[in-house]
Amino acid sequence: MKSQIPKNKILVILGPTASGKSELAVKFAKKLNSEVISADSRQVYKGLNIGSGKITKKEMRGVPHHCLDIASLKPIWSGKVFTALDFKKCGEKAIADILARGKVPIICGGTGFYIDILLGRMEIAEVAPNWKLRKKLEKMPVEKLFKMLKKLNPDRAKNVDAKNPRRLIRAIEVAKMKPSAISRQPSETESRKLKAESFTFIGIKLPEKELKNKIEKRVKKMIKDGLVNEVKKLRKSGLSWKRLYELGFEYKYPSLFLQGKINKKEMLDKMILENRQYAKRQMTWFKKNKDIKWIRGYKESNPGRFFWREAFYH
């Protein structure tokens, strides 16, 4: 028999890369008859599977997952580009649907920015592309772009991929937009007036050494599972090397390896190092949320223990 919890409760499971969020979310979902909403800025894309750490059908164990594989990689600077607002719309639709069926939405991911805009902890607005600004910014090195964003929006700079020019340019574009030129969209979450106490935040926080080891194992598994071949396939599909670089270090370094610019060891070392640095940036973002209940794993949050009762019946 499934555990029962009050209506209109939303569970959020977060943590740094390789901490075990997806597995924990599935365990909760099986226990509570819930569904999962992925909050990951790269798992929204079709074709980014191994490098993004996207959960497999087998790992889902029959639990429905939302906001995965909903965007195309093809559009870059012309046409439709997937934005944080697009994710917010997808997430809100999923939340409304899951709650309407009497189930508990479980938001799971490591992109703190996406989680916060989905739950209304940060304001998000629709900003039209500024082609003139983009053309100018594309000529700048990533170091200068990051410095510019840090000055314009320090909070956004804390969670952005500092070496991803596309994300930096979009963040700068939004930060420089005048309020009068912003088109605001009605929020389904806000219209339902979900209160802060409707959310229960559970964060996975591992000892530094343990997390480092998990990150190293995860990167090695990606290589073993065929990450390089995934990048080859993406390249053959028509993506440029530049576009592949923009998809994050899990795609940048295999791309450099395929071009003969680095060897296999350098590829592996760079990916491990950048994953560890990214995990630190994720934790810096999450630490702003004082409502997160930090645990090390499923045993500490077993539904039969006091922690679970306290979390949902406060």
171 and 256: one domain? no
Distance CA 105, CA 98 (A): 6
- Per-residue tens of pLDDT for the chain, all 314 residues: 344 545 678 999 999 999 999 999 999 999 888 999 999 999 999 999 999 999 999 999 999 999 999 998 875 444 467 888 899 999 999 999 999 999 999 999 999 999 999 998 887 666 777 878 888 888 888 889 999 999 998 878 876 777 778 778 888 988 887 554 444 444 444 444 455 558 899 999 999 999 999 999 999 999 999 999 999 999 999 999 988 998 999 999 999 999 999 999 999 999 999 999 999 999 999 999 999 999 987 667 654 454 455 555 54
The model's pTM: 0.80
User: Residue 221's domain spans which residues?
Assistant: 10-126+183-312
Residue 4 lies in a domain: no
Choose among 16, 32, 119: nearest CA to 312.
Answer: 32
Residue whose token pair is 């949050």:
301
Q: Are residues 150 and 270 in the same domain?
A: no
Do 149 and 202 share a structural domain? Answer: no
Among residues 257, 274, 275, the alpha carbon closest in space to that of 266 is found at 257
Does residue 2 sit within a domain?
A: no
The H or E element that residue 153 is part of is none
Do 75 and 33 belong together in one domain?
yes
CATH number at residue 273: 3.40.50.300
Total domains in the chain come to 2
**Using CA atoms, how far apart are residues 117 and 171, in angstroms rounded to an integer?**
14
Q: Are residues 119 and 266 in the same domain?
A: yes
Examine residue 75 and state whether it is found in any structural domain, yes or no. yes
Q: Please indicate, yes or no, whether residues 198 and 233 belong to a single structural domain of this protein.
A: yes
Domain endpoint, select from 158, 182, 206: 182
Which class for 134: exposed (0-12), middle (13-18), buried (19 or more C-beta within 10 A)?
middle
In a domain, 5, yes or no: no
Strands (E), 16-70: 35-38, 65-66
CA distance 285 to 154: 11
> Do 244 and 191 fall within a single domain?
yes
Contact between residue 87 and residue 94 where contact means Cβ atoms under 8 Å apart = no
Amino acid making up residue 177: M
Question: Does residue 115 sit in the same domain as residue 171?
Answer: no
In a domain, 72, yes or no: yes
- Residue 150 falls inside a structural domain: yes
Of the residues 182, 215, 247, which one is the last residue of a structural domain? 182
Distance of CA 35 to the CA centre of its chain: 17
